[in-house]
Amino acid sequence: MASQDWFEKDFYKILGVPKDADEAAIKKAYRKLARQYHPDKNPGDTVAEQKFKEIGEAHSVLSDPTQREEYDAIRQMAAGGARFTAGGPGAGNGGFEDIFSAFGGGGGGQRVRFSTGGGQGFPGYAGGGGEPDINDILSQMFGGGAGGRAGARSTYRGDDYGDFGGFGGPTRGPRKGQDLEARTTLSFRDAVTGSTVTLQTAEGRTITTRIPAGVRDGQRIRLRGKGMQGDPGAEAGDLILTVTVGKHPVFGREGDNLTLDLPVSFAEATLGATVAVPTLDGEQVKVRIAPGTPSGRVLRVKGRGVHSKKHTGDLLAKVVVTVPTHLSEAAKDAVEAVAKETADVDPRAELFAKAGT
């Protein structure tokens, strides 16, 4: 909402962007400066803390199209479109004589006339004939009307542009707070099992929230009511949190299924065996390797994947047959005996058959 200090603050200069900067440029500049002046990086630095607050305020206004339009209009008026001329008591049309609408510039714009005569309780004056309250003047301008009678009483409430009585302004309720965006990084395990994280906003607020189990890398989570505060009586905005998930040295993920490569010896794959498989929760489960199991076969362990509200995945163990790099003489003789017994079997026959189709 319009504020008197908008006349004095150059939000574009604070963020270091031109006045025609688009939303992306404003966001980029804000993030860069917020990182530079963040309290965590400048502990005890009051100058950096004040700069951090100014950056947050500038971004809050310029990233909101409605507030930015009002701010630009006010700054244009402050640059030369408004003239305040004090008048004496009883002057019928004197006092604060010409305030030109910022939307029309210096000469051809909408003309708004404010009268101090008669002590009629004109909106923006304390008891009629006193000094004007710039917020009430702004409320009339942005309320959309200047055609009301001089004695009409505005019901402007300071925080919104509500019912402007005789000035014909539209009724508008308090506005919801602005949404915020943030990022966080979770370990693979925390993403699967769920975790509680603590974040700090650009305004210095600390937000603690629970990340649900099963969140995926790059997933965006909307945290209701964790954004900017709204007008009095309005809801707070939301926090849009983008999650980055780290890698795990053993486990991977396919949907709600966890995956891993399961090393199996040549003898186990050939003769069959029962082997242990690790799970993400630290336990072990046993799986049966059937005789003649080839490398690449996937064994499924039910219910050992990602537990979410809607579904529980499985653990998929892919068999990887390992080849020994060092053999004793006896082992070498045994392998040679196997090779002699299976010499008439071509393991690549099916490959070449399929390649010719």
| Bridge-based pairing state of the strands 284-289 and 98-100 | unpaired
Q: What is the pLDDT of residue 148?
A: 37
pLDDT at 74: 79
Residue showing tokens 């099992």:
193
pLDDT along the chain (357 residues), means of 10: 67 92 91 87 86 88 88 74 44 41 41 39 42 52 42 36 39 78 92 89 79 91 86 87 94 95 94 95 94 95 90 95 91 90 87 85
**Considering the entire predicted model, what is its pTM?**
0.49
3 state SS of 316: strand
Q: What is the pLDDT of residue 83?
A: 43
Where are the extended beta strands (E) located within the chain? 82-83, 98-100, 111-112, 180-186, 195-200, 206-211, 220-223, 239-245, 252-254, 257-264, 273-278, 284-289, 298-301, 315-321
Q: Give pLDDT, residue 71.
A: 85
Domains and CATH numbers, the chain: 4-167 (1.10.287.110), 180-245 (2.60.260.20), 252-355 (2.60.260.20)
Element (H, E) at 12: helix 11-15
Q: Are 244 and 195 in contact (CB under 8 A)?
A: no
Specify the pLDDT at position 247.
Answer: 95
- Give the end-to-end CA distance of the chain in Å, rounded to a whole number: 72
Residues 6+ apart with CB under 8 A from 93: 113, 115, 117
SS3 261: strand
